[in-house]
Amino acid sequence: MRVALINPNWKENHRSEATYNRKWFPLSLAYIASLLRKNRIKPVLIDAHATNMSIKEIRRKIKGCDKIFITTSPYDKWQCPDRNIKPALKVFEALKDKECYVVGQHVTARPKEILKFTDAKAGVIGSPEFSILDICKNKGLSKINNLVFLRANKLIRTKRTEIDVNNLPIPAYDLVDPRNYEFEIFGKKFGIIEATRGCPYNCSFCYNKEIFGRYTEINLKKIIKSLKALKKAGFQTANFMDLNFLTNKKMVKKLCQEMIRHKLNLKWCCQTRIDNLDEETARLMKQAGCELMLIGIESASQRIQKKTKKNVSLMKTKEKMKLLKKNDIESAYFFLLGLGETRQEIEETKRFIKETKPNYISVHHVVDFSTLKDRKIPLREKLYKIELLMMNLYNLRLKDITKSPFKKLKIFLNALK
């Protein structure tokens, strides 16, 4: 059996939305590909976004495939999926004569609508790996966990279960060309890896528990094997895309010690909250190759922190930023707008940025998928035509901001009035 795993080309969203889809390694598809190979099923991994592949070329590549799985949000977009899924819908339309399935955040959030839009045979919700394997083994849909499908226009949901990521094989890093993946801060040959999946926190704005499930730590030996496979495939840098890398500092310290012992010599970054960072952990992370931390602050308003249950200690974060600077680890802040903040609270956030001096900032506007059905504009229009008010400032150094006090950020804020 041949099975196609497709990440559509999201390039058009750079024009239709204020969204930038980086060319990042599709870790979820690589896990699936590896799992299929282990079960003697041939995977055809097609990353149309990374290779700027046309739909015509996708059709050529899937020739001879028995089943097609199309993601509307590969692993790096599980956290921030595109609102505009037209690129994926175009692929479904072009392959309507094939046995297609839809995977990702969108079908997890709005199963009935997405199944209708795509005409997919079924949708895989939550972490998709083992459910896709069962589909490829031709088990009956009703007997497979974590599926949704339509029967006489009625939505059928199968049993929802969580997976143990320790039962997954090493991702198939060898199925792609590392030169196609990059991060503007780290350059090309940029890979994606995870040391944990899920998050123990309960931020009210976050939808990730629906797809990531409970917090699970991956065995250290497996992480090291994955890092070695990543390097062997030709990747030179990596991002630990855990929702909160520093959840278990003891585990992080052991991981860094193992990375140092195995002499991986890999430059990497991670995303986390840092209010629990300590001197020893920061030192070990730097020695193990950490060059950047992506830090979710969301707002420097204590009221917003409490309201959203984020509960980051802003005072501790200020102190921990000193540890990053001391150990020569760069920082990037993530902020959200649309959480009910006042103009005064936005000013608090701006002062926090200027005071703590991160190397980069990234500002996003909150999107509520769950209430789209209550708007007057039809959901289909909302999903792929409405413009998302978002400005990504990754390439904007703090010194550039302070030269013209938050000029670009002010333009963004004014757009939200």
Q: What is the pLDDT of residue 329?
A: 97
Q: What residues does 360 pair with on adjacent strands?
A: 332
Q: Which is nearest to 276 in space by CA: 373, 343, 201, 205?
A: 201
How far is residue 80's CA from residue 74's CA, in Å, rounded to a whole number? 10
Residue 19 — pLDDT band, cuts 50, 70, 90?
Answer: low
Rounded (to 5) percent helix, strand, coil in the chain: 40, 20, 40
Residue 412 — pLDDT band, cuts 50, 70, 90?
Answer: very low
Q: Tell me the mean pLDDT in the region 306-313.
A: 91
Q: Which is nearest to 148 in space by CA: 115, 105, 195, 191?
A: 115
Q: What is the pLDDT of residue 347?
A: 87
The whole-angstrom distance between residue 317's C-alpha and the CA centroid of its chain comes to 24
pLDDT in tens, 146-202: 999 999 999 999 999 989 999 999 999 999 999 999 998 899 999 999 999 988 888
Q: What is the pLDDT of residue 81?
A: 78
Q: What is the pLDDT of residue 371?
A: 45
pLDDT in tens, 83-137: 778 899 999 999 999 999 999 988 988 899 999 999 999 999 989 999 999 999 9
Burial of 276 (0-12, 13-18, 19+ CB in 10 A): middle
Residue 388 — pLDDT band, cuts 50, 70, 90?
Answer: very low
Alpha carbon separation from 187 to 116, 180, 181, 237, 240 (Å, rounded): 39, 11, 9, 8, 16
Higher pLDDT, 201 or 383: 201
Q: What is the pLDDT of residue 152?
A: 93
Q: Which is nearest to 333 in space by CA: 252, 273, 390, 410?
A: 273
pLDDT in tens, 332-372: 998 888 788 888 888 898 899 989 999 888 887 776 655 43
Residue 13 — pLDDT band, cuts 50, 70, 90?
Answer: low
Residue 404 — pLDDT band, cuts 50, 70, 90?
Answer: very low
Q: What is the pLDDT of residue 3?
A: 98
pLDDT in tens, 215-256: 999 999 999 999 999 999 999 999 999 999 999 999 999 999
With respect to CATH, is domain 177-415 assigned 3.40.50.2300?
no
Lowest mean pLDDT segment, chosen from 12-21, 22-31, 206-215:
12-21
71: tokens are 């993601």
Burial of 412 (0-12, 13-18, 19+ CB in 10 A): middle
Residue 403 has pLDDT above 60, yes or no: no
Domain segments of the chain as ranges: 2-157, 177-415
How far is residue 141's CA from residue 125's CA, in Å, rounded to a whole number? 13
Please tell me whether the overall predicted TM-score, pTM, comes out greater than 0.85 for this model: yes
415 phi, psi to nearest 5 deg = -65, -20
Share of the chain above pLDDT 90, in %: 66
Q: What is the pLDDT of residue 155?
A: 97
Rounded to the nearest 10 degrees, how much is the dihedral formed by the CA atoms of 253, 185, 22, 236?
-60
Candidates 3.30.420.10, 3.40.50.2300, 3.30.70.120, 3.30.70.2190; CATH matching 2-157: 3.40.50.2300
Alpha carbon separation from 289 to 86, 178, 325, 342 (Å, rounded): 39, 19, 15, 39
Lowest mean pLDDT segment, chosen from 158-167, 374-383, 408-417:
374-383
DSSP, collapsed to helix, strand or coil, labels residue 236 as coil
Higher pLDDT, 248 or 203: 248
DSSP, collapsed to helix, strand or coil, labels residue 19 as coil
Lowest mean pLDDT segment, chosen from 43-47, 74-78, 314-318:
74-78
Q: What is the pLDDT of residue 367?
A: 66
Residue 294 has pLDDT above 80, yes or no: yes
| Count of C-beta atoms within a 10 Å radius of residue 161 | 12
Residue 80 — pLDDT band, cuts 50, 70, 90?
Answer: confident
Q: What is the pLDDT of residue 212?
A: 75
Q: What is the pLDDT of residue 343?
A: 85
65: tokens are 């495939």
Burial of 344 (0-12, 13-18, 19+ CB in 10 A): exposed
Q: Which is nearest to 333 in space by CA: 404, 393, 268, 414?
A: 393
Residue 276 is given by DSSP the state: T
Q: What residues does 45 pair with on adjacent strands?
A: 5
Alpha-helical segments (H) within 196-334: 209-212, 220-232, 249-261, 279-287, 302-307, 314-326
Burial of 373 (0-12, 13-18, 19+ CB in 10 A): exposed
Mean pLDDT of the chain: 85
